[in-house]
């Protein structure tokens, strides 16, 4: 990509609008727009019953966003939106230029059927506004509306285009920004974007070529405007306002979108070059792609309409030398649609230390069925590890060069794995002083082994092995551990083996205290692992008998072993239990005698009733008093039954609960029954 030396105007347009993004941080972070963006757009732009999405401006932004994203809308809603726009166009004499501008654009997007006479009236109205205004916004809406009508197939020409061009240019400032009108004290970056759009519309509507010197001046203004661009540390560039009123502040997304639309529109109609640094163009691309899912309808429209880049990406960034994976590259638009016919070349391979591995250019083959470019990685002669692949894209058809730009290169990070060869493995015991080897055993680390070693505290354990990559280079694994586990106390000791060391030694003399002076058998295990190593392993090596000195009095004790938290859920120890012999019971006759004694009070009660001469002579004869008397006696019977239930079944609290209800019941019915008897007795005495 050209830097400050200059970009063709058409190339600048396409870098900003349909750019083939070719910068490592951008490509690695970007994937095609997903259904989440389409869902977000459908939620952000909610239509009202009349088919509009609020005002005309929001309606246009909605239908344009849906058009770009391919969101299907029902025909009834489209018809209502067309009617909404047509009604505004039909009343052109009383409608402001802004409404006519957006209504014409809605009609263009939805291909609404509008009578040519209506468009003639709208064009006349807009031309009149151009003559009578010095407002940038009014000029922008007017010439933009005329251009939209022309793009729909109507013959529209702007007379005296040079004067209109000068009127807009007169509002520009020395730093590339624009004022909204001649009375404005402050200039605006957002206004610069709409001014450039208006100037491009004037050039398109002119009946003759606009003064080339004025176009050159505007190009210089664009360069100055890009000098005011702001940036983040990660290479993201964006435009924002400097000093404007709060009511006029648009925010970075809207301001950047305005500038991008203005520059791309002007570059599409102006010949020659725009001297815009390429890194700023790609920084703007990164800004819009970094928005993610927009939070408002305006941001959604600005992100989608301004920027439709091509994205180079890798479906997978991990490759296996063992399975001979192919390098696959996808090139799509950010909306997931297919790219035009193009070639993808691998031009450079860099190692993890940025060292150049190869600079031989290799063209990737294209799989039409799967829409991916592919290349076998075996001829690249790359080993296991991290690499950076540098790609270059070129279009196959010349006519696409005016639609897509493919400047620059694209860097993608990949990770290569493979089988690591393990050989020359030995384990043995050596003397601590002279270094002479007493016993050495060759071991096979491809499987568990069972070596048997013995040593005292004056000796060393020596372990050595070699690892090599598929290309025969020495491999340094990320993690190598040797574990010694005391067979009796289960105390474990873990030693980190340096990955770069070909031979590892454990000096027992300096580790006596760490081993807690525990002599006896220690099991040996070796673990070797690395993300690039497909055959990482954990191997049992055997055991070693250690003879360590006796522990002094104040020697540290071995730590208590952790209890398995799940052990409590295991089988429990069987419980043996003998029930005690039942106590000796009293004779049966004695039990019956006491039962009879408990019944004596009832017998006494019945005898008392008989002695008293209990009868039913005073039992009420009238229905109501008789009912209350019957209920009273039934309640007393219920209380007696409750006593029996308490004796054989119920507990004290339950009995008291039922007794409380029965007590209230007895008080009520007993009072009524006794009241009747009292009144009857009083009447008899009176008589």
Check for a shared fold between 310-416 and 421-551: yes
What is the dihedral angle through the alpha carbons of 664, 670, 671, 673, rounded to the nearest 10 degrees? Answer: 150
Tell me the torsion sign for CA atoms 506, 510, 514, 516.
Answer: positive
Report how far apart, in Å, the C-alpha atoms of 24 and of each of 27, 81, 391, 510 are.
5, 42, 10, 51
Question: If you average pLDDT over residues 618-641, what whole number do you get?
Answer: 87
At 92 the three-state DSSP class reads coil
Angle at 500 between CA 495 and CA 506, to 5 degrees: 30
How does pLDDT run across 291-321, given as a tens digit for each residue? 777 778 888 887 777 655 566 788 899 999 9
| Among the ranges given (238-242, 253-257, 271-275), the one the predictor scored with the smallest mean pLDDT | 271-275
pLDDT, position 321: 93
Q: Does residue 24 or residue 370 have the better pLDDT?
A: 370
Residue 21: pLDDT over 50: no
Residue 18: pLDDT over 50: no
Contacts of 340 (CB under 8 A, 6+ apart): 395, 396, 397, 400, 403, 404
pLDDT, position 306: 66
pLDDT, position 365: 94
Q: Does residue 28 or residue 172 have the better pLDDT?
A: 172
Distance CA 167, CA 161 (A): 10
* pLDDT tier for residue 13 given thresholds of 50, 70 and 90: very low
Distance CA 654, CA 677 (A): 34
Among 83, 117, 87, smallest CA distance to 100 is for: 87
Number of H helices, E strands in the chain: 17, 23
Which residues does residue 522 pair with via DSSP β-bridges, in sequence order? 486, 544
Q: Which fold has domain 157-307?
A: Glycosyltransferase (1.50.10)
At 244 the three-state DSSP class reads coil
How does pLDDT run across 319-358, given as a tens digit for each residue? 999 999 999 998 876 555 677 788 899 999 999 888 888 8
Distance CA 574, CA 568 (A): 14
Decide if 102 contacts 81 (C-beta within 8 A).
no
Q: What percent of the chain has pLDDT above 90?
A: 31
Q: Half-sphere exposure of 41 toward its Cβ, with a 13 Å CA cutoff? A: 28
Residue 393: pLDDT over 50: yes
Which residues does residue 390 pair with via DSSP β-bridges, in sequence order? 348, 411
How does pLDDT run across 435-471, given as a tens digit for each residue? 566 678 899 998 888 999 999 988 899 999 999 999 9
DSSP assignment of 45-82, as one string?
SPPPTTS--SSHHHHHHHHHHHHHHT----HHHHHHHH
pLDDT, position 337: 60
Domain boundaries, the chain: 34-154, 157-307, 310-416, 421-551, 603-686
* pLDDT tier for residue 530 given thresholds of 50, 70 and 90: very high
Question: If you average pLDDT over residues 270-284, what whole number do you get?
Answer: 76
Decide if 102 contacts 58 (C-beta within 8 A).
no
pLDDT, position 422: 92
Residue 166: pLDDT over 70: yes
* pLDDT tier for residue 77 given thresholds of 50, 70 and 90: confident
DSSP assignment of 348-416, as one string?
EEEETTS-EEE---EEPEEETTTTEEEEESGGGT--SEEEEEEEEEEESSGGGGGT-B--S-EEEEEEE
Query: Residue 682: how many CB atoms within 10 A of its CB?
Result: 10
Distance CA 463, CA 540 (A): 13
| Among the ranges given (477-481, 500-504, 571-575, 669-673), the one the predictor scored with the smallest mean pLDDT | 500-504
Question: If you average pLDDT over residues 537-562, what whole number do you get?
Answer: 89
Q: Which fold has domain 310-416?
A: Immunoglobulin-like (2.60.40)
Domain 421-551 grouped into CATH 1.10.3470: no
| Among the ranges given (70-79, 159-168, 615-624), the one the predictor scored with the smallest mean pLDDT | 70-79
Continuous segment of H or E residues that includes residue 306? helix 297-306
Question: If you average pLDDT over residues 553-559, what whole number do you get?
Answer: 86
pLDDT, position 294: 74
Would you state the structure tokens that stand for residue 448, as one six-digit string?
A: 């568990």
Q: Does residue 573 or residue 439 have the better pLDDT?
A: 573
Of how many residues is the chain composed? 687
Q: DSSP 3-state helix, strand, coil percentages of the chain (rounded to 5)?
A: 40, 20, 35
| Among the ranges given (9-13, 71-75, 398-402, 561-565), the one the predictor scored with the smallest mean pLDDT | 9-13
Would you state the structure tokens that stand for residue 153, as one six-digit string?
A: 């197939």
DSSP assignment of 338-362, as one string?
BPPSEEEEEEEEEETTS-EEE---E
pLDDT, position 243: 64
What is the dihedral angle through the alpha carbons of 579, 584, 588, 592, rounded to the nearest 10 degrees? Answer: -90
Look over the chain and give the mean of its residue pLDDT values, rounded to a whole number: 82
Residue 373: pLDDT over 90: yes
Q: What percent of the chain has pLDDT above 70?
A: 86
Question: If you average pLDDT over residues 69-73, what whole number do you get?
Answer: 71
Report how far apart, in Å, the C-alpha atoms of 464 and of each of 425, 452, 453 are.
6, 16, 15
How does pLDDT run across 188-204, given as a tens digit for each residue? 899 999 999 999 999 98
Would you state the structure tokens that stand for residue 362, as one six-digit string?
A: 């290799």
């Amino acid at each position: 990509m050209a830097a400050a030396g200059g970009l063709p105007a058409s190339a600048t347009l396409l870098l900003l609008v349909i750019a083939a993004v070719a910068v490592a941080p951008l490509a690695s972070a970007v994937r095609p727009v997903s259904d989440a963006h389409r869902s977000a757009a459908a939620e952000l732009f909610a239509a009202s019953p009349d088919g509009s999405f609020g005002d005309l401006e929001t309606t246009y932004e909605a239908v344009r966003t849906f058009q770009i994203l391919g969101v299907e809308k029902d025909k009834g809603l489209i018809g209502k939106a067309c009617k909404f726009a047509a009604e505004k166009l039909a009343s052109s004499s009383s409608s402001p230029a802004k409404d006519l501008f957006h209504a014409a654009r809605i009609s263009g997007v939805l291909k609404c059927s509008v009578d040519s006479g209506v468009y003639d009236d709208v064009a006349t109205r807009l031309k009149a506004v151009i003559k009578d205004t010095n407002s940038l916004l009014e000029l922008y809406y007017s010439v933009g509306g005329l251009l939209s009508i022309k793009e729909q197939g109507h013959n529209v020409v702007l007379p005296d285009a040079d004067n209109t061009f000068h009127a807009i240019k007169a509002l520009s400032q020395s730093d590339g920004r624009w004022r909204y009108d001649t009375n404005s004290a402050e200039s605006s970056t957002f206004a610069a974007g709409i001014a450039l759009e208006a100037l491009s519309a004037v050039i398109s509507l002119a009946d003759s070529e606009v003064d080339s010197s004025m176009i050159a001046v505007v190009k210089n203004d664009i360069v100055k405007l890009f000098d005011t661009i702001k940036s983040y540390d990660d290479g993201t560039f964006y435009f924002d306002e400097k000093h404007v009123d709060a009511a006029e502040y648009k925010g970075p997304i809207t301001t950047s979108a305005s500038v991008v639309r203005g520059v791309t529109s002007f570059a599409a109609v102006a010949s020659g070059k725009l001297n815009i640094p390429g890194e700023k163009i790609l920084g703007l691309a990164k800004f819009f792609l970094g928005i993610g899912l927009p939070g408002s309808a305006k941001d959604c429209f600005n992100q989608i309409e301004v920027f439709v880049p091509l994205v180079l990406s890798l479906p997978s960034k991990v490759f296996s030398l063992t399975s001979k994976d192919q390098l696959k590259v996808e090139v799509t638009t950010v909306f997931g649609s297919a790219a035009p016919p193009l070639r993808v070349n691998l031009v450079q391979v860099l190692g993890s230390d940025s060292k150049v591995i190869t600079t031989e250019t290799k063209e990737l083959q294209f799989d039409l069925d799967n829409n991916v470019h592919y290349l076998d990685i075996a001829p690249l002669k790359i080993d296991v590890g991290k690499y950076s692949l540098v790609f270059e894209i070129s279009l196959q058809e010349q006519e696409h060069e005016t639609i897509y730009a493919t400047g620059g290169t694209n860097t993608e990070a990949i990770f290569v794995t493979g089988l690591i060869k393990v050989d020359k493995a030995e384990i043995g015991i050596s003397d601590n002083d002279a270094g002479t080897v007493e016993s050495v055993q060759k071991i096979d680390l491809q499987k568990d082994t069972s070596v048997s070693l013995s040593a005292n505290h004056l000796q060393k354990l020596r372990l050595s092995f070699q690892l090599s990559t598929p290309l025969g280079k020495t491999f340094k694994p990320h993690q190598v551990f040797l574990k010694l586990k005391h067979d009796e106390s289960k105390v474990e000791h873990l030693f980190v083996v340096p990955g770069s060391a070909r031979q590892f030694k454990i000096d027992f003399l300096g580790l006596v205290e760490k081993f807690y002076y525990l002599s006896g058998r220690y099991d040996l295990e070796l673990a070797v692992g690395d993300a690039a190593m497909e055959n990482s392993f954990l191997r049992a090596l055997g055991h070693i008998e250690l003879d360590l000195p006796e522990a002094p009095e104040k020697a540290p004790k071995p730590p208590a072993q952790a209890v398995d938290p799940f052990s409590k859920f295991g089988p429990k120890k069987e419980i043996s239990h003998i029930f005690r012999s039942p106590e000796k019971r009293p004779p049966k006759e004695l039990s019956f005698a006491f039962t009879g004694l408990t019944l004596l009070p009832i017998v006494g009660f019945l005898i008392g009733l008989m002695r008293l001469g209990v009868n039913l002579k005073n039992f009420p004869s009238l229905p109501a008093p008789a009912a209350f008397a019957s209920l009273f006696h039934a309640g007393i019977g219920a209380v007696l039954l409750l006593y029996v239930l308490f004796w054989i079944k119920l507990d004290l609290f339950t009995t008291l609960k039922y007794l409380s209800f029965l007590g209230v019941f007895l008080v009520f019915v007993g009072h009524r029954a006794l009241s009747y008897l009292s009144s009857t007795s009083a009447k008899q005495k009176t008589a």
